Every structure is written in C-alpha cells, then in structure tokens.
Amino acid sequence: MPRVTRKRTIAAPVEEVWRLVSDPYSLPRWWPRTGRVENVEQRSAGRRTQWTKVLETAEGRGVRADFRCISSAENERYVWEQELEGTPFARHLRSSKVEIGLRGREEGTQVTIASLQAMKGMSRMGSPMMRRAQGANLDQALDAIERALT
C-alpha cells in the first residue's frame, strides 16, 4: 500500500495538538477541502468514533465521505479510515487511511501525518499522481495545524 508521510514540529504542547487532531468537529480548521463535519458518533478514548466529512470540490459542490477512528492513544496516535463500501470512492480505492503521530519535543510537538491508499484496478496507473496529491494534502494539513495552534 503506497504510503506518503510528512513531518513537522509545531510550536504547541502535545495536549493542544491532540485536542485538535482527535476531534472530528475540528477537521474543517485543518484538513484540506473539509467544509464541515456531520453525524459524529463519539466513543470513549476516540476509538470507533465515526463521522461524515463534507468535502468541497473545486466546483463548489459538497461530497460526503464517512470515516471511523480505528486506533487511538491519547497524546500519541490517532488513525482513521474511510468507509468505502457502497460509495463512489470504492470504484477507485481498495482502502484509504490516515495516521497521525505526536511526539513531544523541547520546541513543541513533532507531528507526523501519513496517508495510506490502496488503489483498485486501472486506478493503480495513477498512483504516482495520487501520491503527489496526497503529499500536497498532508503539507496543507500541517500548515493549517500550525496556523490554528501558533
């Protein structure tokens, strides 16, 4: 599964970064193209929390996508995956996951974001373009986390 990773040290305490990245309602503040978040079913400790992101297309339309947290360790790690079955995304993606890792540093918090996407069928031919696009998304996400917290 192709993995794209970006790291940055954010000048904010781990606890503040954690509150931002582990709260689905905060996604519009930092995750690219997220217009709003709906239908959040919060679970204790984050794991199995589910939500719907309304993504904004370049044409201004909203596209709904469902996600769920599959792993969570407070102040350390938050991992979500997109629910693909029965959606238009399932034509192109076998799986799509985002992993966020946090590590305290003297100068703030090292934030590592990784995107893992497995393409289906002929869509695999576009994998290099998809990796570039994912890298740009992760860079934008880190920029927005930094703006939100510093």
Query: Is residue 84 in a domain?
Result: yes
Over 90: is that where the pLDDT of 84 sits?
Answer: no
22-69 pLDDT, tens per residue? 999 999 999 999 999 999 998 766 678 999 999 888 787 888 999 999
Q: What is the pLDDT of residue 125?
A: 46
Structure tokens at 26: 């905060």
Structure tokens at 51: 């939500």
Q: What is the CATH number of the domain that holds 21?
A: 3.30.530.20
Q: What is the pLDDT of residue 102?
A: 98
Query: Is residue 35 in a domain?
Result: no
Averaged pLDDT for residues 79-93? 84
Structural domain for 26, as ranges = 3-30+72-149
Averaged pLDDT for residues 66-80? 96
DSSP letters, 105-140, are ETTEEEEEEEEEEEE-GGGGGGHHHHHHHHHHHHHH
Distance CA 102, CA 18 (A): 8
Q: Comparing 10-14, 33-37, 83-87, 108-112, which segment has the lowest mean pLDDT?
A: 83-87
Distance CA 40, CA 49 (A): 7
Query: Is residue 107 in a domain?
Result: yes
Number of domains in the chain: 1
Structure tokens at 36: 């709003």
Over 90: is that where the pLDDT of 90 sits?
Answer: no
What is the average pLDDT value for the chain, to the nearest integer?
89
Burial 77-109 (b: 16+ CB within 10 A, else e): bbbbbbbbeeeebeebbeebbbbbbbeeeeebb
E strand or H helix at 38: strand 34-41
* pTM summary value: 0.87
Q: What is the pLDDT of residue 129?
A: 63
Q: What is the pLDDT of residue 94?
A: 84
Query: Is residue 44 in a domain?
Result: no
Percent of the chain with pLDDT strictly greater than 70: 90
